[in-house]
Structure 1
């Protein structure tokens, strides 16, 4: 994948190539134009490589008809109507953009995202226009990402994580009639199965503190405190690696042997239950796999889903 600087240069080269008042720019004129717009010097060799990529790099999809015209002593598009801005958006690109926009719209109140609100709205309008232009009938129907419940707490939670501030959370557990108040050191946020969760250390006044998972949609109130905390070393990327879902029981992963009907083998091969899945036996009588996981509610729910097959 090309880096963002190369993509910016492609756009600038295309802009210079399509200035009607100054046709057929020389290589040096293109270099000067791109350097001026970027506010930094760009080498001749970089522009030469960019021109080659715009013309021949299939991964870009530009297929730019750009050639050097010896009579005009400059570069031209052999198709006078060509511009990389005129390349139609593919169906695959539209699908990806629609899903991305749906997610961005949910987080647009977060300061880091809010500054791009106008850009998000413009992009949404452009995608809708492209969709309307491409077809009057929708062939592929995609579920628009649902609005996360409790998303209104995201700004304070993200700020507290970044600034290492304590949080006071009023929380309504599923299994208790009354809400509880928690003092929490927030560490990171995880999305799972259409819900948002905060993983943090619950600071108890007289019991041992421990890491808990708090569902956004069970939060009744969230207050960012001025008090800061010293973050512990936590492998956030692999925190849930030995579990399905977001329930951590505090137990170590166990090796689990599971036997399924042979008819279920094809599905389990194409859709493994977990990345630790290993095939132990695959015969006409039984399909046996091994998992190395923490036994939790989510795992049991997955397994119960196979009982009717």
Structure 2
């Protein structure tokens, strides 16, 4: 299938021309009709050439397209006329082509990896219907894998929390943190669900606190809807986490973090940046990496995952925090 720009506009235009029994469309006429349709949609477009037109017709005739049949005996003078063999035929009356169905099924298979989300049930059902309608071969191939933990606790809450955010419902949440043996009750205006490091988190507003409350779904014991009036937020969560790694956000200001990175690790850090603010400066025997963000526990854990290949030069507080954690780690292995 041609995947270049304006392909569907060309297919629809050709379909109209092939169905028109009141006019004889030659190749030049089809080319003009397609280019006029493209220009109507996008005045800045350059249009297409004959080669692209031939490719489009071949695709429409293929099984991957709509298996159209053209009347090969029609002539206008010495020129061939392009018209459907069955003038009542139209690609708009056909179901998805096999190619389109396969693309859609692949997309649905990708989405279905998000098990536990509100969308999962209908995605699975639609995938089965596509397979039945188009006789799509199911090879059960695992073409793509996502990092996920099927045993993760808390995923059963995602549907209810998603709906509460969507329908603006205030929730009474019973929550038991790792550090407190007694459950805590939050009356939460839920705003956003976020996944980080294979765990799900809920962000919302409890009116007892000035800042947003961040709850790990695997520590939620009970969720109840309340009749309380919902207070929406104007926070843009596309930008909310820009200044941190992970989900822990404090009122601390942005800081410049300077790291000494060994040549062994720099390729990984260059291809998978630690943070969007990352800047790399080569030195003689190592690299300096600068980050501009709010230090948090997730940043510390990320840096420790690189072991001896990263040294924090500044700020001092972050360096001291890592030093303390490394000393405690050393005690566990000291003989």
TM tier, smaller? 0.5 to 0.7
Q: CA deviation at 1:248?
A: 1.3
Deviations 1:190-247 (A, max 9, x none): 122222211111232xxx4421211112111111211113323212211111111111
Q: Structure 1 CA distance, aligned partners of 2:305 and 2:133?
A: 41
Is the 1:247–1:296 Cα contact (8 Å) retained in structure 2? yes
Deviations 1:127-171 (A, max 9, x none): 995352xxx9x6956358544632332333223223332111011
Q: CA deviation at 1:89?
A: 8.0
Q: Structure 2 CA distance, aligned partners of 1:101 and 1:124?
A: 15
Alignment of 1:291-302 (within 5 A): 291-302=291-302
Q: CA deviation at 1:294?
A: 1.3
SS state at 1:221 partner: strand
Q: CA deviation at 1:283?
A: 2.4
Q: Structure 1 CA distance, aligned partners of 2:153 and 2:13?
A: 42
Query: Compared with structure 1, are the counterparts of its residues 57 and 157 closer, same or farther at alpha carbon in structure 2 (3 Å cutoff)?
Result: farther
Alignment of 1:73-222 (within 5 A): 74-76=82-84, 85-87=97-99, 97-103=108-114, 105-107=115-117, 110=118, 118-123=125-130, 130-132=137-139, 142-143=145-146, 145-147=148-150, 149-204=153-208, 208-222=209-223
* Number of residue-to-residue matches in the alignment: 269
Q: Structure 1 CA distance, aligned partners of 2:270 and 2:286?
A: 14
Match of 1:25 in 2: 19
SS state at 1:165 partner: coil
Is the 1:151–1:216 Cα contact (8 Å) retained in structure 2? yes
Alignment of 1:47-62 (within 5 A): 56=52
Q: Structure 2 CA distance, aligned partners of 1:202 and 1:235?
A: 18
Query: Compared with structure 1, are the counterparts of its residues 198 and 60 closer, same or farther at alpha carbon in structure 2 (3 Å cutoff)?
Result: farther
Q: CA deviation at 1:271?
A: 1.6
Match of 1:34 in 2: none
Match of 1:269 in 2: 270
SS state at 1:187 partner: strand
Q: CA deviation at 1:45?
A: 6.0
Query: CA RMSD, aligned part only?
Result: 4.7
TM-score w.r.t. the length of structure 1 is: 0.67
SS state at 2:83 partner: strand
